[in-house]
Amino acid sequence: MNSELAEHSQFKDAETGQFNPKSLIIWPLSQLFRFLEWPMKRIQNLLGLGTMPYIFLLPNLCFFGLFVVLPLFVNFAFSLTGGTNLYLDERAFTGTEQYAFLLDCGNYADPLSCREDRFWKGLLNTAIFITLQLTFLVLFSLITALVLNKKIQARGFFRSVYFFPVLLSPVVVALIWKWILLRDGILNAWLVELSFDKILFFVSPAWAMFWAIFISIWAHMGFYTLIILAGLQAIPPDLYEAAEMDGTKQERIFWRITLPLLWPNLLVVIVLALIKGVQTFDEVFVLTGGGPGTATQFIVQYIYNTGFTNQIQNFGLAAAASVILGVVLFGLTMLQLAATRWKDNG
């Protein structure tokens, strides 16, 4: 990483005299640093060199403590209380009631038989979404990376063609596609041209789910393509040369050399995409609003609706659902760490 980053350090404006976008950020910061010089010197003289590392860590750790660690515990506390008050001391302790409510099902295969059917519908939708999205996301990222890894002209251009949607905001992505998919949108115009009937994409649950998956792949594919591409380029070229000399078929080279050597990278991509996929909210929320009905309502939207939009803000239930989501994500992250370790150690 470091050598690659260092390549860009010749971004020096002092020599070329050209506009340097970095300076926009550097200037205000350096003013701040200068301003802090005197107080920091006093602190160092007062407390000694030994405490300086703690001083440097302090602001960041305060933020972590206040906005990550404290909430993590408070979240658990929330999930054990009921009522509609936000402040914890005004909330009634209910023990594991919220969890019992969420997990109470007549038949776990059928979301409608559960007391909190929206939660289970959200889980089921997320599961369906993840299964399809992950499969095709990895598949298309792999194909794209393989194509981009060939000796094609203008590779940099094509790489950015597939990559740029990664930087678009989810809201923008959703609006771009909503405009295409509307009743009188361009896609329906083409369907009419080809003498099909118009399709009301946001009225049919299956179509809404299809487009949710499609758009999520469209928006994120470039990111995973880039990681896979880095993996492909790390495969030693002499392996391919040796195979060519032996007259090995392309298909065989792919299955016997490329895929086995790429597998660790692919595993990291799969787990990473899984972790992101479980938390899908933004694009789909703007595109379909979770509809029609609850056909594209995912688990994060369930938490959002329960805690923040419904008439009765049920913070306890939302917290309990997010604890469950947290447990799932924790498991997946452990998987990711294992995959990364496996990749790095070969």
Partner 1 sequence: MADSTSLPVRIWQFLTFRRGGKRWHWTDLFTYGYLGLGIFLMFGPVVWLVLSSFKTPAGLLEFPPTWAPLGQVVVEVEGYEKPLPMYRVTMEDGSTKDLAQIRRIGIISQMVDPAEPSTKFKIPIKQREPIREFRMAWENYLDPLERFNFLSYLTNSVIVTTLATLITLLINSMAAFGLSIYEFKGRNAVMLFVIGTLMIPITVILVPVYLVVTELGMVNSLWAVILPGAATPTGVFLLRQYMLTIPKDLIEASRMDKATEWQVYWRVVLPLAMPAIAVLAIFSIMWRWNEFLWPLIVLNRSEVYTLQVGLNAFQGELDVQWHYILAMTVVTLIPVVVVFTFLQKFITTGIASSGMK
Task: Work out which of 33, 196, 263, 342 binds partner 1, going by CB under 8 A.
Answer: 33
- If the CB atoms of residues 106 and 251 are measured against partner 1, the closer one turns out to be 251
Q: Which of residues 48-87 bind partner 1 (CB under 8 A)?
A: 49-50, 52-57, 59-61, 63-64, 66-72, 74-75, 78, 86-87
Cα–Cα dist 155/160, whole Å:
9
Asked if the peptide bond before residue 292 counts as cis, ω within 30 degrees of 0, the response is yes
- If the CB atoms of residues 206 and 344 are measured against partner 1, the closer one turns out to be 344
Task: Work out which of 138, 145, 209, 229 binds partner 1, going by CB under 8 A.
Answer: 229
- If the CB atoms of residues 119 and 223 are measured against partner 1, the closer one turns out to be 223
Q: Which of residues 295-334 bind partner 1 (CB under 8 A)?
A: 300, 303-304, 307-308, 315, 318-319, 322-323, 325-326, 329-330, 333
Number of residues that bind partner 1 (CB under 8 A): 114
Q: Which of residues 260-299 bind partner 1 (CB under 8 A)?
A: 268, 272, 279, 281-282, 286, 289
Using CB under 8 A as the binding rule, whether residue 130 contacts partner 1 is answered as no
Positive or negative CA dihedral for 159, 222, 1, 55? positive
Using CB under 8 A as the binding rule, whether residue 204 contacts partner 1 is answered as no
DSSP element (H, E) containing 81:
strand 81-82
Task: Work out which of 180, 200, 232, 257 binds partner 1, going by CB under 8 A.
Answer: 180
3-state helix, strand, coil in the chain (%, to 5): 75, 0, 20
In this structure, the number of other CB atoms found within 10 A of the CB of residue 159 comes to: 17
Three-state DSSP state, 82: strand
Helix axis angle for 205-233 and 170-181, nearest 10°, is: 130
- By C-alpha distance, which of 188, 189, 217 is closest to 201? 188
DSSP element (H, E) containing 93:
strand 92-93
Cα–Cα dist 290/300, whole Å:
11
Q: Which of residues 148-177 bind partner 1 (CB under 8 A)?
A: 150-156, 158-172, 175-177
Task: Work out which of 139, 186, 203, 338 binds partner 1, going by CB under 8 A.
Answer: 186
